[in-house]
Amino acid sequence: MMLCKLSFKNIRKSFKDYAIYFFTLILGVAIFYVFNAIDSQTVMINVSSSTKEIIQLMNQMLSGVSVFVSFILGFLIIYASRFLIRRRNREFGIYLTLGMSKRKISAILLIETLLIGVLSLVVGLGLGVVLSQFMSLLVANMFEADLTNFQFVFSSSACIKTLGYFSIMYLVVMIFNTVNISRCKLIDLIQANRKSEKVKMKNPYVCIVVFIISAIFLGYAYWRVTGDVESMAYAGEILVIMAIGAISTFFIFWSLSGLLLRIVQSNKKFYYKGLNSFILRQISSKINTTVFSMTTICLMLFITICVLSSALSIKNSMTANLTTLAPADIEIDKNLDLVPNNRVTEAQAEDSHLSVRETLERMDFDVDAYFKDIVDFNVYATNNLTIRDTLGSSFEKIKNQFPNLMYDSAEAIVRESDYNQVASLFHLEPVHLEDDEYVVIADFDSWVMIRDEALKMGESITLNGNVYYPKYEECIDGFLEMSSNHINTGFFVVPDDAVDESIRAQNIMIANYKAETDEEKQEIEDKIVQLDNHPYASSTTISASSKIAIYEGSVGLGACVTFIGLYLGIIFLISCAAILALKELSESSDNRERYTMLRKIGTDEKMIKRALFRQIAIFFLFPLVLAIIHSIFGIMFCNFILETFGNKQLLYSIIMTAIFIVVIYGGYFLVTYFCSKNIIRAH
């Protein structure tokens, strides 16, 4: 009973000074519950069956991410507990001096951890249940679902999962605390507050050399992921570049910890102004002893900024693309004149000689009864016109820049009249060619750049013994395949008489539905989906892409990316801010006597508060500034990888990411300052 009373008293005494620890635990529990409760929240919204499948997939992905998040939160709880125990070393030393056994001290910590855990879980779950109701509104908004059946929902599965994961975390913390106490020595505990971290003055010349070398390697990593990204031969190279960036970041902080104080001390006027000397020695001491922590926090902030910016950018860009890149209701295509092999059966090879219309008729689908505005055409290809051939004299230059492209692949060719029909349906500009001209249609940025290089050189192509020249020195923006992304790597539009049926490769039918309402369109859509169950389906390679399916798929993918990005981004941001805050609070507690000494020598409270504010601000900004620099190049690399999604919404996503950082990271900074001010205040 005495131990329980002592534990309650300790919690009540330390609650005010270490409110951030409790706040972080509560926030962690709430966020964990919110993202794991999406499954229950989405049950009540009215969506199509395909959208429900996408939501189920998203929930499975979030469940997998939750395992990773639990490890991050577990590390954060252990890290926080370590600082709390360190602050109480003198208290534990007094307990030992008074005759209390280490076993009883461990029992006190066990009770305290249990009480803190129960309190955090109860409050966190309560907050999570409330926030999850808003999350259901966000999910419904993303999927444009009907919320007429909206009601308050409590997710028992999310609650059980949260209780399970956090119980395991607290159990690990209890074991960690017990082991720590068992290893403590009385003399170390009693003198813990008297120990001061010495500022190790590194050799400034060594620091300068290390800083320059690190900056050079960091610059090389920046260049590889932006200016030289096309030359990456394999995906593993990015891991090597990331390792170079991480190691360089570590040595940047290591060298700055040795240079910062030296540089400022050389400016005597600034160094001895006000409390600058005190502030800078405090900061130098922290950076000197937290190089690894600073590196970890910087890299986590970098990942957070990139993840949030890219996730939000993808979602918004995909939504913006839907209107222009999926202008018709349905697009059906099939490869023609196939040869039987391991992938193509005899029946499929026989069917490949039929058009899309003829195949649909064999599947008992009346095209004219359900479709209107029909455009039916062939795409042609021949091994006599490959990518290598169309690049001409610019081939070697482009190959050096893009060594991994399949240059021997046949180019896609479309007749002028066929393309103009598609352009009319897709609301694109038609083309008008002379007898010896061609144009290239493309919208994938990297391929547009490659195509433009050859077009500027005036490279000619040869078809059926006739030579054709480019009408323009650049590609025309357009596409044949409906999608939510810019994926058209390029096809050639030539005069109608430039090709014959002997080189046909694909037949495409594009049309709109004969329907007035969304319900009628969905009925036709369902009939097309049911064609997969027709007996003739196994005998054909026909495939369809509809506006409805593209829309649902893109919205679903955008939602998955957004939620996972938000989940990881918020958790990483909280972790970074909490680690910095706990470290700063621990430092403030350790340095309480130093602030008392400042008061004794006549320093007023206003100067002390200003010094504390600047010290904490610099400590928070140090890893953030370098993380932002990293992120500039990281986002550029992400945009290159995900350029098919477009980057028109990049500014919006960066603004949203900045808001998250200001609210969460800035919020932790302010709370840290006010808590630290409370710790060092005069008694």
pLDDT digits (tens, 9 = 90+) for 8-17: 566 666 665 5
Residues contacting residue 57 through CB under 8 Å, at least 6 positions apart:
556, 560
Percentage of the chain with pLDDT > 90? 21
Structure-token pair, residue 636: 């550029």
| Per-domain residue ranges of the chain | 1-195, 339-540
Least confident of 184-193, 326-335, 574-583: 184-193
Mean residue pLDDT across the chain: 79
What is the pLDDT, as a whole number, of residue 592? 73
Q: What is the predicted pLDDT for the residue at 152?
A: 65
- Nearest partner of 374 among 361, 362, 356, judged by Cα: 356
Q: Which of 149-163, 179-193, 434-448, 653-667 has the highest mean pLDDT?
A: 434-448
Q: Which amino acid is at 396?
A: E
Nearest CA to 534 out of 414, 654, 359, 336 is that of 359
The mean per-residue pLDDT over the stretch 397-420 comes to 89
Distances 55 to 28, 52, 314, 553, 561 between C-alpha atoms, Å: 24, 5, 18, 10, 12
| pLDDT (average), residues 100-115 | 70
Packing angle, helices 19-36 and 49-87, rounded to 10: 160
Mean pLDDT highest for which of 93-107, 227-241, 592-606? 592-606
CA-to-CA distance for 628 and 299, rounded, in angstroms? 10
| Cα atoms in the Cβ-side hemisphere of radius 13 Å centred on 186 | 9
Question: 471 pLDDT band (50/70/90 cuts)?
Answer: very high
- What 3 state SS string does 417-464 have? HHHHHHHHHHCCCCCCCCCCEEEEECCCHHHHHHHHHHHHCCCCEEEC
> 3-state SS of 50-99?
HHHHHHHHHHHHHHHHHHHHHHHHHHHHHHHHHHHHHHCHHHHHHHHHCC
Q: What is the pLDDT of residue 271?
A: 63
Q: Which of 120-124, 255-259, 463-467 has the lowest mean pLDDT?
A: 255-259
Q: Which residues pair with 64 in a beta bridge?
A: none
pLDDT of residue 99: 65
Nearest-CA neighbor of 257 among 279, 287, 278, 283? 287
pLDDT at 432 over 70: yes
Q: Are strands 371-380 and 504-513 parallel, antiparallel or unpaired?
A: antiparallel
Q: pLDDT at position 565, please? A: 80
More confident residue, 18 or 514: 514
Please name the residues in contact with 421: beta carbons below 8 A apart, sequence gap of 6 or more.
375, 377
Between β-strands 491-494 and 413-415, what pairing exists: parallel, antiparallel or unpaired? parallel
pLDDT score of 146 more than 70 = no
pLDDT band, residue 386 (cuts 50/70/90)? very high
Confidence of residue 478 (pLDDT cuts 50, 70, 90): very high
pLDDT tens sequence across 590-637: 677 777 777 777 777 788 788 788 888 888 888 898 999 988 888 877
Q: Kindly report the CA angle at 257 between 253 and 262, in degrees rounded to 5?
A: 140
Residues 6 or more apart whose CB falls under 8 angstroms from that of 390 comprise: 411, 454, 459, 461, 492
Check if the beta carbon of residue 530 is closer than 8 Å to that of residue 25: no
pLDDT of amino acid 234: 53
Radius of gyration, alpha carbons of the chain: 32
pLDDT at 676: 80
On the question of pLDDT at 299 being above 80, the answer is: yes
Residue 70 pLDDT grade (very low, low, confident, very high; cuts 50, 70, 90) = confident
Are 472 and 455 spatial neighbours (Cβ–Cβ below 8 Å)?
yes
Measured in degrees and rounded to the nearest 5, phi and psi for residue 515 equal: -155, 150
Closest CA to 560 of 62, 43, 46: 62
Distances (CA, A) of 321 to 164, 222, 483: 42, 30, 8
3-state secondary structure of 163: helix
> In residues, how long is the chain?
683
Q: How far apart are the C-alpha atoms of 596 and 340, rounded to whole Å? A: 88
Of the chain, the percentage scoring pLDDT greater than 70 comes to: 74
